[in-house]
Amino acid sequence: MGRVLVALGGNALQRAGGHGTWPEQVAQMRSTAAVLATLVVDGEELIITHGNGPQVGTLLRQNELAERELPRRPMDVLGAETQGQIGYLIEQELTAALVRAKVPRTVLALVSRTAVSRKDRAFKHPDKPVGRYYTEAEARTLRKRESWEMEYDGARGGWRRVVPSPEPLRWIEGEGLRRLLPHGWGAHIVPVVTGGGGVPVIETSQGTYEGVEAVIDKDRTAALVAATLGADTLVILTDVPAAAVGFRKPWEKWLGEVRAKEMETYLQRGEFGEGSMGPKVEASLRFLRTGGHRAIITDPPSLARAMRNETGTRIVPD
């Protein structure tokens, strides 16, 4: 069998329409973990990465509500906190699922940093909305007081902070870790890495790192991690069973096995939403370009069948 990197996003961690309580997150992760355990039973070596959008949003809001009494922490720090929070959740639930499935492993969550470049054009054009909605007056104040970049969201009729979303260049802890791991480590541990895409840091000319307030697309970082740790399959878990062309149009067509070249054409044509399916397809194509054998886009209930090439979108080399 192979080595599989699974990127958990959206509903794999937090149920849509819930209240965001901890027991809800535990229940959601428990059902996802049961699915992940079946992969290990089938002989796969697992690596896990995950998003952190809703969790960082909660920490930003708590920092805001408490700021009269306690100083806010910057976004890079809050990102690291979500790696602790979600890493612990995955350690707990995946350890349990693997014990129940009689394939025990040490689930090991690492605090991960990802290098980005100061010259990345994203720093000139911040466009990734984070946190809550504000009124126009609040937006004006925040722009002045905090030097935040603010953007109007017509659909919701409110203002939001936007931060840069630069390209991930290197997973800082990755090289060191890889050189240490003995052959066949996948039979013993399940690493949980680069949560939220990794904490974004910029390398200085002295070879040290500075944290920055930005977000990194977790699926893009996943493609990097896959190359570093030698995964042959990348699984991007989301809330739909597959990618589609003509999504929600009369000519909608769900995609099964697709060659990279064909997928590239759909991507260029703008078939996939910019903030949703687009980055997933793009990360999948990157992964194949760096030697990956197969990228799967599906939801947790379909994962086991998608691994057997029976459902989900499977992108394969030309």
* Residue 45 CA from chain centroid, whole number: 19
Q: Which of 127, 136, 153, 175 binds a second copy (CB under 8 A)?
A: 175
φ and ψ of 121, to 5 deg? -65, -15
Binding piece for a second copy, criterion CB under 8 A, among 40-48, 205-213, 222-230, 253-261: 205-213
3-class DSSP assignment, residue 185: helix
Binding piece for a second copy, criterion CB under 8 A, among 34-42, 99-107, 143-151, 227-235: 99-107
Q: Does 41 bind a second copy (CB under 8 A)?
A: no
Stretch (H or E) spanning 123: none
Shortest Å, Cβ 197 to a second copy: 14
Strand-pair category, 257-259 with 313-316: parallel
3-class DSSP assignment, residue 139: helix
Binding piece for a second copy, criterion CB under 8 A, among 87-95, 227-235, 245-253, 264-272: 87-95
Number of residues that bind a second copy (CB under 8 A): 61
Cα(81)–Cα(237) distance, integer angstroms:
22
Q: Does 84 bind a second copy (CB under 8 A)?
A: yes
Please, what is the angle between helix 277-289 and helix 218-229, to 10°?
20
Nearer to a second copy, 17 or 207 (CB): 207
Nearer to a second copy, 50 or 294 (CB): 50
DSSP-derived letter for residue 121 is G
Q: Does 189 bind a second copy (CB under 8 A)?
A: yes
DSSP-derived letter for residue 203 is E
Structure tokens at 102: 């009689």
> Could you tell me the strand order of the sheet in which 199-203 lies?
170-171, 113-116, 199-203, 209-211
Q: Does 34 bind a second copy (CB under 8 A)?
A: no
| Residue 147, number of CB atoms within 10 A of its CB | 7
Cα(164)–Cα(213) distance, integer angstroms:
8
Binding piece for a second copy, criterion CB under 8 A, among 3-11, 148-156, 182-190, 270-278: 182-190
One-letter identity of residue 3: R
Region 230-249 residues binding a second copy, contact defined as CB under 8 A = none
End-to-end distance of the chain based on CA atoms, in angstroms? 22
Q: Does 118 bind a second copy (CB under 8 A)?
A: no
Shortest Å, Cβ 12 to a second copy: 18
Nearer to a second copy, 201 or 297 (CB): 201
Shortest Å, Cβ 126 to a second copy: 21
Binding piece for a second copy, criterion CB under 8 A, among 40-48, 81-89, 146-154, 234-242: 81-89
Catalytic residues: 10-11, 128, 218, 280
Q: Does 213 bind a second copy (CB under 8 A)?
A: no
Q: Is the dihedral of CA 107, 108, 109, 112 positive or negative?
A: negative
- Please name the residues in contact with 277: beta carbons below 8 A apart, sequence gap of 6 or more: 238, 240, 243, 247, 297
Q: Does 73 bind a second copy (CB under 8 A)?
A: yes
Q: Which of 184, 310, 287 is nearest to 234 (CA)?
A: 287
Binding mask 42-61 for a second copy (x = CB under 8 A): ----------------x--x
Q: Does 29 bind a second copy (CB under 8 A)?
A: no
Which residues sit at the interface with a second copy, rule CB under 8 A?
19-22, 58, 61-63, 65-66, 69-71, 73-74, 76-77, 80-85, 87-89, 91-92, 95-96, 99-100, 104-111, 113, 172-173, 175-177, 179-182, 185, 188-189, 192, 199, 201, 206-209, 211
